[in-house]
Structure 1
Amino acid sequence: MKRLMYLMAIALGLSLTGCVSFTPLGPIGEPLSAAPSTLDRSAEISDVVISAPDLDDKVRTAGSRQLTDQVSAYVDKSDYFKRIVVFPAKAGDDDVVLKFNLTSLAGKRTMHPAYIPGALVTLTIWIWVDGPIYIDKYDLAGELIIEDRQGKQLARSVEQVKLDKNVGMWNADYLNPRLGGTQLRELIAQLLASATPQLRTPSKELAAHE
């Protein structure tokens, strides 16, 4: 009986850091693969808008600054466009402006329902063999609008990344202080992959064929 109580104390102690909410803000890192083709246009990245609910102004401001830099670097390395235009340079008449709006940045870590019984029944072997301790829940969503230099909308995509991820002691996310970077990268990748095929041929080329 004493041994059972001891094992229960260990399991409960390891679970005390669960049940927390967090806001994924990267780092999103580099693209996992390059774009299937590169458009013969340059692109300017507007400041990333964070319209996700339940965030204070400081988080929105700091998050927008961080993600604008991260998304600009990501788009540059993804090779969807021939180059990225950065202030003080200005995009040309045939170039485009990318406007990202992140409408949901919800992350939550909860204790896995099988963790306590699993750890007790297996005499904590569950923990050491990487049995799930937490469930990380993600609900990320965003919109990408691509406009020409006159503000005309050329393309629009709306995407969502919603998943539950089991996390054990040996998982890289177990002690990760900045959860959700991978999932946020997936959202940005989906937005680009969905919006860029909608772009029309640059106006000069259209005029040449008319």
Structure 2
Amino acid sequence: MSVTTQWIEIDSADGKFGAYLAIPHTRKGPGIVLIQEIFGVNEHIRSVAEQYAADGYLVIAPDLFWRSGPRIELGYDEAGWKRAVELMNATDVGKAQTDIKLTLNALKAQPGLVGGIAAIGFCFGGMLAYNTAANGLVDVAIAYYGGGIQNQLQRADEIKVPMLMHFGEQDSHIPMDAVKKIAERFENNDGVDIQVYPGAEHGFNCSHRSSYNQRASVEAHGNSLIFLSQNL
């Protein structure tokens, strides 16, 4: 049996929202809550969920833009970027964190969950993964080019779980000065690992984007799997 996928519904105080669930062929394993970019739970995010499910994890990706419209999927062209920024700006981060907590509860209710749960987020989702870790909701966190983490370093001491951060050396949205600021703040925390990928731009993990960097993507995924295996 291969990876199986489905959309499920999760109840919240504001109504129901969808989440994309990917189950490994073994039907059991540790869990991952996968947190979207600003482009929604689109084809790329779903493929990442399926990739980690193939690696043996139960993966769930909540639709965090559902209050603006269910299952919004955007591409990476100019129109997609414009709408994505609008949706991000319209998103109440506090409510998004509540949705993530509800998603974690839904993942914990899966009969095949064995072991701990990690939060893995991309871009906007990377910042949310950082906050999810600071909120003490997961056992491990991984942030890919987490935008805005450098502006939330007042929460650094709240990161009590292992965390891996991936950054591209040529990221036009997250300058190396910001990465340096993050690294300096966590230099005394042995549980936090920061990896910088030479020549990689923002979004280097996404093969649907012009900024895709195959080598950085493969290395980051490998580093993530090793990190998960060591800490989850």
Fold shared, TM-score > 0.5 on shorter chain: no
In terms of fraction of residues, the more strand-rich structure is 1
Name the TM-score, length of structure 1 as normaliser.
0.26
Between structure 1 and structure 2, the one with the greater Rg is 1
Name the TM-score, length of structure 2 as normaliser.
0.24
- More contact order relative to length (CA 8 Å, sep ≥ 6): 1
